[in-house]
Structure 1
Amino acid sequence: MSRSRDVFIVSNSTDELGGVTGWTHRTARLLQERGHRVRVIGIHASELKMALPDTPGYPVTALYPTHPPTPWAPKRLRDRLRIPARRREAARAEEKRRAVRRLSGIFRTAGPGAIVLVTQVWAMEWVGEADTCGHRVIGMSHESYDYSRASHRYRWIKNHYSTLDRWLVLTEEDADIWAGDGMNNVGFMPNALAGLPDVPSPRTAKSVASIGRLSDQKGIDMLLDTWALVAPQRPDWRLGVYGAGEDEAELKALCTELGLDGSVEWKGRTDDVPGALADASVFVQSSRGEGFPLALMEAMASGVPCAAFDCAPGVREIVRDGEDGLLAPAGDIAALADRLLRLTGNPRMRDAMGERARTNVQRFSEAETVCRWEELFAFLER
């Protein structure tokens, strides 16, 4: 048994609906079960919440009750004369200083050698200003190098993560790319699979499932365009879209415009992912960018073969194309439609790939992943 440590897990939010929140609480539970003293901290409480246990078994703290305001910066000389805006910015800055002092106080509850694990780039803004003296700080990204490179987060990572004790991405392929980009402290840590359902999906329902936030990143608009190519050839199949998010109204309007209301079912958010997957025979993922998608692993654990855009190293790390699922080039709607037509039209292929998927995904078990965390903690103490 490894020695007990204080571990602080800091995220943008501790209760926001999404994969990082699920990862945060799953990792907290795993580390607590190993005897560590865990505390989960969010920068703010979320409006679109994920269902969490009433008593998670470890302290959970939000520094702000809602999302903090964005910093204000005057663009022109006349902007500096706007007294109300300057007062709002002064109040925002003071509120942030209070939040940082509170975070520093939380970190000081632990003795030297504690682990501060920052799961997302934005949360690092507060951790970077807090007092972490004597602690090991690990930064993480739950998205691919390419997705970070195309956003403002790339500059933030380059400016603020190179001096951390460790900078973790989700795959060895991405770690190699970041190392080539000058990040010499980079390593990789895959997400853990929560477990296997006792009984896999029977794969008998003529149903394709998608599970994810209704946002631009998840590419549900591309999924609808894909389904517009599939539905005429599979009139007895249905697409079940599980999730909620800011693009819901726009996506439903697009569904109607494409004439898909008869074959697309908007299932809303679900807290029973295994139950949703038990009713599906195929899983589809249409994301523009990903890290190491938990929904993909959960589908495979349920024995549901997947068709997905090959949008990140994490996707092709999880799915072995042609063996336990089918990948399409990122953003290629016709290719994704082809993969769905192959899986929906061939029950023998579905069964063979589903059974291999359930076996192969077990290489990402919780036991294996938590051992990797223990090895990293011990390495950082040398």
Structure 2
Amino acid sequence: MKVSLILTSAYVMRGDVRATLNLASALAERHEVEVISVRRQKEKPFFPIGAEVSMRSVVDIRPGVRHLLPRGQVRTEVALWRVLRGLKSDVLITTRPGLGVQAARHAPREMLKIAREWGRPAVPGPVKRFYPRLNAVVTATEPAQEEWGRLLDGGPAVHSIQDALPDGPWPRSRMDNRIVAAGGRWVSVKAYDLLIKAFAIVADKRPDWRLRLYGGGPEERRLRALVRDLNLHNHVYFMGTTPDLAGEFAKASIVANTSRGEDQCMAVLEAMGCGVPVVAFEGAKGPTEFVATGYNGVLVPESDDEPRLYAAALLALIDDERRRRSLAAGALDTAVRHAAGEVAAQWEKLITDLR
């Protein structure tokens, strides 16, 4: 069976990209798999990918690459239309609503077409119009499955398959470093400003602990200014981007997640794969699917004073090593269910049923 997975870009640091490449690598152990990147900005993908997976791009925008047509959105859409029309795969998996719409319109009718979705469409009109031409929609969480089911009432069936971690062995935290870590894009929805404010309280009471922030993004200048204003330059460190976030999480004893508005939670899963408990918010769309207080982490209640409550949750774990280690064991147990081989088997069953 030949499977094609299409991404807006396979060369950027995003949780959905990481999850897609993990899935592609796992499927490639038993099938012919290719990843199609609409845009190619770099020589190599940011995240590792299995050697058996073939890769190609629709538009190559690397510096120095010659282009036969002028750059621009129209050129990209025409090139994507040509690629979709000419696909010879058995299965096509898209990863954004815009790509799902294009696949529904232009991919061969006989091809099995599945939309893999993490968020909600910004403009639902085209999705409602064209998604009935797809064979299925797959979400990463059950709440998202229900939401897409309501959106596509009468359309294709909506299934839920969780994101894939790479197959083990995973790096393991020794749980003895006085480090809290967080990772992902530095954008407003991740609420890193709230985390920094909470850690100001932690640093005042436990000055020997440090916060490491991994990633990059448009919020960096504002976050650095906040660290400066709170005089946390000896406590909060901006570590930059890394393709091996799991390896960095394995150096920590707690992973913090303050995101509220995203279904994708690769950072949470990678932390658990390293045996690190996660502190997140109740009501957060993604973390609540994986984090269970008392088992593999702590969910902080929503309130008007969230930095204080979040700091209290961190301090409670900092001061109780036995509890941290107990939650770490639960985190590892959770991660096993997300191993790439297990997730790939769920995809194979779905594809078989659909065919």
Global fold match (TM > 0.5): yes
Q: Calculate percent identity across the aligned residue pairs.
A: 28
Q: 2 CA distance for matches of 1:200 and 1:52? A: 20
Q: 5+ unaligned residues in a row in structure 2: which ranges?
A: 63-69
Q: Which amino acid aligns with 1:170?
A: A
Q: Secondary structure at the match of 2:216?
A: coil
Matching residue of 1:237? 209
Match of 1:174 among 118, 121, 144: 144
Match of 2:77 among 96, 107, 111: 96
Match of 2:313 among 339, 342, 351: 339
Matching residue of 2:333? 359
Matching residue of 2:66? none
Shift in alpha-carbon separation, 1:103–1:178, aligned structure 2, 3 A: closer
Query: In the alignment, does 2:128 pair up with 1:158?
Result: yes
Q: Is the 8 A contact 2:13 2:47 kept in 1?
A: no
Please give the residue correspondences for 1:57-72 in structure 2 after superposition, counting only pairs within 5 Å: 57-66=52-61
Structure of larger gyration radius? 1
Query: In the alignment, does 2:289 pair up with 1:317?
Result: yes
Q: 1 CA distance for matches of 2:152 and 2:107? A: 26
CA drift at 1:160: 3.6
Q: Which amino acid aligns with 1:172?
A: E
Matching residue of 1:41? 36
Q: What is the RMSD of the two structures over their aligned residues, measured on CA atoms? A: 2.6
Q: 2 CA distance for matches of 1:264 and 1:116? A: 43
Q: 2 CA distance for matches of 1:345 and 1:303? A: 18
Please give the residue correspondences for 1:216-231 in structure 2 after superposition, counting only pairs within 5 Å: 216-231=188-203
The count of aligned residue pairs is: 344
Q: 1 CA distance for matches of 2:302 and 2:199? A: 16
Q: 2 CA distance for matches of 1:240 and 1:170? A: 27
Matching residue of 2:5? 9
Q: Which amino acid aligns with 2:322?
A: R
Q: 1 CA distance for matches of 2:49 and 2:287? A: 32
> Normalising by structure 1, what TM-score?
0.82
Please give the residue correspondences for 1:1-382 in structure 2 after superposition, counting only pairs within 5 Å: 5-34=1-30, 36-46=31-41, 50-53=45-48, 56-66=51-61, 92-93=73-74, 95-105=76-86, 107=87, 109-110=88-89, 114-143=90-119, 148=120, 152-184=122-154, 185-197=157-169, 200-329=172-301, 332-381=306-355
Q: 5+ unaligned residues in a row in structure 1: which ranges?
A: 68-87
CA drift at 1:306: 0.9
CA drift at 1:256: 1.0
Q: Is the 8 A contact 1:7 1:116 kept in 2?
A: yes
CA drift at 1:197: 4.3
Q: 1 CA distance for matches of 2:53 and 2:162? A: 23
Shift in alpha-carbon separation, 1:104–1:198, aligned structure 2, 3 A: closer
Q: Which amino acid aligns with 2:176?
A: T
Q: 2 CA distance for matches of 1:140 and 1:23? A: 11
Shift in alpha-carbon separation, 1:373–1:55, aligned structure 2, 3 A: closer
CA drift at 1:294: 1.6
Q: 1 CA distance for matches of 2:285 and 2:217? A: 25
